Structure 1
Amino acid sequence: MLPEKELMLIYLRYFPGLFALITVIIGLLNWSKLPNYKSKLSLFTIGLTLLIEVLGPLFSLWTGLLNYYIFNIYIFILFQLYFYILVKILKNYRVKVLGSIFMVVYTTVFILNLIFQFETLGHDIYSGLYSLGVLLFIILSTFYFIELFNSSNVLNYKKNIFFWFVIGVLLFHVPFLPFMLSLEWFLIEYSSSIYWIVLFILNLIMNSCFIIGFLWTEKKYNY
């Protein structure tokens, strides 16, 4: 029989996928509130996360390889989707252009990683790529919030799915980035239990934001 600590870790690993599954189901039940492709794309990104949570362990089981291959490609695609959503909902032309430039820069960095660090693709997280993605997302999100709170929709921000989506993404990735870098730079000692507890809490917070968004949103505020 496995020790209690090991059992807890096994259970914790399944929660991110479970949270994503619950969020996708609630999102689908509120599909009619998402009037266009950019609002539906927010649900698609959560579905992508659910897919990766399923495929990651299966990939390792089938190939005997670590699932860093899938994770690094997933991070690239996920942040490009984040950038794309923000570019589409931003109103200021210059900021939209800036967001498009960010997408090109991010793609370029990913390609350079593949060229010069391909041997690490399946053995380590592309932490530089992830850090850049979080930083660029913070910048674009700041412009989004400035626009939102200076618009006529400011009183109805709680009914906007994009507000809750951006908040959820920020509340996961902004705290996780320094935690991940601290582990990589050995500033804190790695503990699998602490690692999975942190992921559990951040996934719970992020998906709670998404679920609130799907439940509270109104169709007319999602254009």
Structure 2
Amino acid sequence: MELSDDGMFIKEFGVILHYITLFIAVFYYSKYKEYSFYKYFLFYFLVIVIVDLLNNYFYTEGNNINLYNIYTFFEFNAIVLIYYHLIQQKTRLIIVKALAIAFNLVYILSFIFDYYILYTIPLEGVVNSIFVILYLVELLNSDGILNYKKMFPFWMSVSFLIFYLTSVPFWSLYYSSIFNTRAMFPIIYYLGTSYQLIFIYGLITCKKMGKLY
């Protein structure tokens, strides 16, 4: 089933936002360069843009599964590195490491046992959401909560949580074949557009701060 005109528009708009978000992130690099996590945030969006370009010029629809499987690895581990450098409490860092190892193990097994592929993307959404929640809990219990609206890591985390947590039921239903048509894909495109607009808002409006918290 083909996408509606609205679905195609939001998909193409989301792709354009990838480039805009990366450009803005690079433009504001001097404001955030002292944050050790920021280079991994840039890497995260650079990977997205590279995959977009490869998909547009070297792959056809339905023939890009391997490309997106590889993308999942870099996407996930970029998120790991972001929150490994944001989270400070030792127990939470141990949780981050353990979840990163567990997911990467499942990811590797998905190339050996095909049915594992059904779990990687929904599992990635769950694990990434846990990383975000661990950071937000830490922020909530720190002095940084007084200035959270001025902190880009807060808006970045809100954006990630909206996208990854709400995408879990979508991908779970899709890979379980409860629905497997492209008619539902505008849902994920709207989520992708929303999370990038939050990134852009945070990058532009947040202030340079000496310490995160």
Instruction: Indicate the TM-score class for this superposition, using the shorter chain for normalisation.
Output: 0.7 to 0.9
Residue 53 of structure 1: aligned partner: 52
CA shift digits 1:35-79 (9 cap, x unpaired): 234113212212211221221232324xx9711101011112111
1:1-223 → structure 2 map (5 Å cutoff): 9-36=7-34, 37-61=36-60, 66-117=63-114, 126-188=117-179, 190-195=180-185, 197-220=186-209, 223=212
> Which blocks of at least 5 consecutive residues in structure 2 are unaligned?
none
Runs of 4+ in 1 over 6 A off after TM superposition: none
Moved more, 159-168 or 7-16: 7-16
TM-score scaled by structure 2? 0.87
Distance 1:130 1:186, change over 3 A: closer
Q: Could you tell me how far 1:7 is from its partner in structure 2?
A: 5.3
1:62-97 CA distances to partner (integer Å, 9 max, x unpaired)?
xx9711101011112111111121111111111112
Query: What is the RMSD of the two structures over their aligned residues, measured on CA atoms?
Result: 2.4
Percent of counterpart pairs with the same letter? Answer: 22
SS of 1:126's equivalent? helix
Q: Work out the CA distance in 2 between the residues paired with 1:15 and 1:127.
A: 28
Larger Rg: 1
2:22 counterpart letter in structure 1: V
- Number of residue pairs aligned between Structure 1 and Structure 2: 210
What is the TM-score of this pair, normalised by structure 1? 0.83
The CA distance in 2 between the partners of 1:110 and 1:44, in whole Å, is: 20
Native 8 Å contact 2:21 2:200 kept in 1 = yes
Q: In 1, are the aligned partners of 2:10 and 2:193 still within 8 Å (CA)?
A: no
Find the aligned partners of 2:81 and 2:50 in 1 and give their Cα distance. 20
- Please state whether the residue corresponding to 1:219 is helix, strand or coil: coil
Note the residue ranges of structure 1 that are not aligned, 5 or more in a row: none
